Every structure is written in structure tokens, then in C-alpha cells.
């Protein structure tokens, strides 16, 4: 689950990580009020207005503005709220700004005190990884910065040890006067990553002030959905406005669903089988319209909801149903398909069923009115071939 910047900073603050003073807002009145609170707290009439969307690259497209005095805050906030931002991390439509963060302005006169730090888990080596660089900021993803990024592996069972923190500090050229606070900072963000069950924690940039205070100026946190049952307060941070409406509906139905831009809809049970199905379709020159994993439930009610969700995508021309009947019985799947398309089918449907009661499933469909509208296949390769032939005709 993606979090907004203000939510990520709230979590970091609970673990002792210092962040700039800020307040989030949903409308112009709240923005002005938030700015007044920032001015009063910092005793300076300057603040930063930051669009809150689930995407990076906001600064390059006008999503982050420095503002002075209330009139300027009002003007710039008005131009930002409700605006659609298109960044290098959004699709062509971009994302609508429904919230903004009014933050304390932290002046960094020394660029050498600006850093990048992120933590994530590498499943290939079963280690936590700390990526860090002495050059943080908006250009961290540029090709010229790749050689300046360091990587530190952390054994999850041992945690982050003092000698590893010293190594990180040495590579970042942290001065002795700031080392003690830096050591605490690294431990705090690592604890935040572990204890919040995050799959990614990224701070860019990290500032070290003249007083050797270490601040997380911007933060990105992605939480592991499977661990949210341990964090009911984090679960409330889910912002469905940031997601496609179809994806939100699928999530409520209990499906693993992701909308894509292709023309071939997939209905599969099992994430691994779904990925293989998508790969095979791409290999044969077509594009998938979605990732849809039904999981272990595929009764008539479940299939009806899945078809409803798939057919809301107007780009869909073909539906590939690829079900392995292990936990799920193939005859139940067949009954669900027949009940949904009991009159007519206006989409091309390719069906691959294997497993429990597969012969009964085929018999049910053969005896139904939709028999002539369904293309049977026995392998993924055959399915992809059929899709290619249909696409070429369409």
C-alpha cells in the first residue's frame, strides 16, 4: 500500500526521525490555516506547498512550490489543488491533486549536506538493502548518478550493526560532529522500515543542517499489504482516490487486480500462473488488459464479479480464462461462465481448464447455448496463438 508523503513522515516521526514541521490540507481554507500555523511555528513567513499524490517527480512538473506570505500561499494553492500532475511515475492521464502538504521551508546552503537513503528487501539474496548516495535530490534517478550510489546488504537476523553504520557514514563523508546523530538517524529509519512492515522506505533528500540536525525532507513509504492486519492504524491510511476505480472495486471484492493498457483480459487463479499467462501473451505480440488473480475462490458469484470488473474496461477485445482446478473445481467455473453469459457473448473468449472435474466442465459448456462462442485450448502456447490470430483479424 502506497502512502502519501505526510503519512510517511508521520510514521517516521513515531520512530524518532526528525521531519520538517508541516500540516496537510484538503481545501484552500485549510491550506491558509496550515500556512499560518507553519509561519507561527517557524517564525518565518515562508513555506513549501507540496502536492500529495502517489508518484515521484512532483517537483519537475510544478507539484512543489515555495511560497511567501498568506496571499502567495492562497494563489499558489489555488493553482495546485485539483490540478492533474503528469510525472515520470504516472500514466499519461496523471494524478489529480486532492491534498497538499504545507511544510516548513528548510534552507540548505551547502549542497554537500544533501543525501539519498532508501531501504528495501532483496528477495534474491534474502537480505535487506540500504541504497545511499551523497547526491540526493530530484536528479537521483539520472544516469550520471548511478555510479555514485552505494549499496549495503543487511542480514535481517542480525540487523544493522555499528560497523555497517560507520561504513555508510564514511562513504557519505559524514563529519565527526554529525556522526552520533547520523548513527541514531540510520537506526531509527531502519527500525521504522522493519517495525512498520514496509516493503520500501525512501528518504530523498536527507539534510544535515549547520547545527548537525538530520532531517527527512521528503519521504516515500510503501507498506506490505499482507502485514496490515498488524497495523490497523496504517490500514486507515489507504486512499482509494489515488487508485483506478476498477482497481478499488476489485480490491473490495478480494481480487488481486491491476489494470493495464492492453486488449486481452486475463482471468486466472494463482499469481504465478497469472504472470506466466501474461508473459506468453506478450511473447506472441499481444498486450494484456489486466492482471487478475482470483485466488482459491471461483464460484458463480466470484466469477460474475470478475467478469463485471473486466468488462468495465472498454479496451478489452478478448478474455482469456486460464484456470487450474486444484482447490477450485472446473465444473464450478464452467457453471459460473454459463450463468454469466446465458444469452450472448460480445467478446471473444478463450478457455483453458485443467484439473478437478475438467471433463464434466467441458460437458457442461458443450451442452450450453454459449458452446459455439468459446474457443477451447489445452495449453498456454495454443491460447497465445489463438489470441494472435484473433488480433490480426480484428
Can you give the CATH number for the domain in which 145 is found?
3.30.470.20
Residues 209 and 258 in one domain: no
Catalytic residue, chosen from 5, 114, 202, 263, is 202
Q: Distance between CA 304 and CA 311 in Å, rounded?
A: 11
**Band of pLDDT at residue 141, cut at 50, 70 and 90:** low
pLDDT mean over 129-155? 80
- Quick check: 137 and 205 in contact, CB under 8 A? yes
Q: Which CATH number is 289's domain given?
A: 3.40.50.261
Q: Which of 65-69, 80-84, 365-369 has the lowest mean pLDDT?
A: 365-369
Close Cβ partners of 375 (under 8 Å, ≥ 6 residues apart)? 348, 349, 350, 351, 386
User: Is residue 263 located within the same domain as residue 314?
Assistant: yes
Task: State the pLDDT confidence band at 160, using cuts at 50, 70 and 90.
Answer: very high
Looking at the fold, whether 232 and 113 belong to one and the same domain comes out as: yes
Q: Does residue 250 share a domain with residue 355?
A: yes
For the chain, give the percent of residues with pLDDT over 90.
Answer: 49
| pLDDT tier at 110, thresholds 50, 70, 90 | low
211 with 277, same domain: the answer is: no
> 116 catalytic, yes or no?
yes
Domain match, 267 and 228 both: no
Among 78, 105, 132, the domain-final residue is: 105
Which tens digit of pLDDT belongs to each residue from 193-223?
Answer: 999 999 999 999 999 988 888 999 999 999 9
Q: What DSSP letter does each residue of 41-87 carry, written as one string? A: HHTSSEEEEEE--S-S-TGGGT-EEEEEHHHHHHHHHHHHTTPEE--
What is the reported pLDDT for 145?
61
Specify whether 364 is located in the same domain as 314: yes
Q: Number of structural domains, the chain?
A: 3
Catalytic choice (116, 132, 190, 340):
116
- Closest of 187, 212, 180, 237 to residue 9, by C-alpha: 237
94, 116: one domain: no
Q: What is the average per-residue pLDDT within 147-160?
A: 92
Given a cut of 90, whether residue 135 has pLDDT beyond it is no
190 is catalytic: no
Q: Say if residue 205 is preceded by a cis peptide, omega within 30 of 0.
A: yes
What's the pLDDT band for 140 if we cut at 50, 70, 90?
low
Strands 114-122 and 64-68: unpaired
Distance between CA atoms of residues 259 and 245, nearest Å: 10
- What range does the domain containing 40 cover? 21-105
Q: Which segments of the chain are extended strands (E)?
A: 22-25, 46-51, 64-68, 84-85, 95-96, 100-104, 114-122, 127-133, 149-154, 198-208, 214-216, 219-223, 256-259, 264-268, 290-293, 318-325, 348-355, 374-376
CATH number for the domain spanning 40: value is 3.30.1490.20
Amino acid at each position: 500500500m502506497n502512502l502519501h508523503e505526510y503519512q510517511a513522515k508521520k510514521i517516521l516521526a513515531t520512530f524518532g526521525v526528525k521531519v520538517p514541521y508541516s500540516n496537510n490540507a484538503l481545501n484552500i481554507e485549510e491550506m491558509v490555516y496550515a500556512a499560518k500555523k507553519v509561519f507561527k511555528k517557524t517564525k518565518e513567513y515562508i513555506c513549501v506547498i507540496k502536492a500529495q499524490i502517489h508518484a515521484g517527480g512532483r517537483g519537475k512538473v510544478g507539484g512543489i512550490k515555495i511560497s511567501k506570505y498568506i496571499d502567495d500561499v492562497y494563489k499558489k494553492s489555488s493553482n495546485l489543488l485539483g490540478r492533474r500532475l503528469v510525472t515520470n511515475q504516472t500514466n499519461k492521464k496523471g494524478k489529480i491533486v486532492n491534498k497538499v502538504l504545507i511544510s516548513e521551508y528548510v534552507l540548505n546552503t551547502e549542497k554537500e549536506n544533501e543525501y539519498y537513503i532508501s531501504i528495501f528487501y532483496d528477495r534474491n539474496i534474502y537480505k535487506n538493502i540500504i541504497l545511499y548516495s551523497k547526491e540526493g535530490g530530484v536528479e537521483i534517478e539520472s544516469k550520471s548518478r548511478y555510479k555514485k550510489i552505494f549499496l549495503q546488504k543487511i542480514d535481517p537476523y542480525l540487523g544493522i550493526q555499528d560497523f555497517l553504520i560507520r561504513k555508510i557514514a564514511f562513504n557519505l563523508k559524514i563529519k565527526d560532529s554529525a556522526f552520533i546523530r547520523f548513527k541514531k538517524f540510520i537506526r531509527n529509519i531502519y527500525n521504522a522500515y522493519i517495525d512498520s512492515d514496509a516493503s520500501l522506505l525512501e528518504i530523498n533528500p536527507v539534510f544535515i543542517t549547520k547545527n548537525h540536525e538530520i532531517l527527512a525532507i521528503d519521504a516515500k513509504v510503501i507498506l506490505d499489504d499482507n502485514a496490515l492486519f498488524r497495523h490497523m492504524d496504517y490500514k486507515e491510511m489507504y486512499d482509494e482516490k489515488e487508485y483506478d476505480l476498477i482497481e478499488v472495486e476489485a480490491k473490495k471484492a478480494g481480487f488481486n487486480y491491476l489494470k493495464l493498457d492492453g486488449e486481452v483480459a486475463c482471468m486466472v487463479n494463482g499469481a504465478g500462473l497469472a504472470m506466466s499467462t501474461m508473459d506468453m501473451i506478450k511473447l506472441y505480440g499481444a498486450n494484456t488488459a489486466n492482471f487478475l488473480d482470483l485466488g482459491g475462490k471461483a464460484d458463480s458469484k466470484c466469477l460474475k464479479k470478475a467478469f463485471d470488473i473486466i468488462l468495465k474496461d472498454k479496451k478489452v477485445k478478448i478474455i482469456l480464462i486460464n484456470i487450474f482446478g486444484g482447490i477450485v473445481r472446473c465444473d464450478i467455473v464452467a457453471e459460473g461462465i454459463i450463468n454469466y453469459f446465458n444469452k450472448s457473448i460480445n467478446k471473444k473468449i478463450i478457455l483453458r481448464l485443467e484439473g478437478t472435474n475438467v471433463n464434466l466442465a467441458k460437458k457442461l459448456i458443450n451442452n450450453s447455448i454459449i458452446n459455439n462462442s468459446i474457443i477451447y485450448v489445452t495449453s498456454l502456447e495454443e491460447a497465445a496463438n489463438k489470441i494472435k490470430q484473433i488480433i490480426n483479424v480484428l
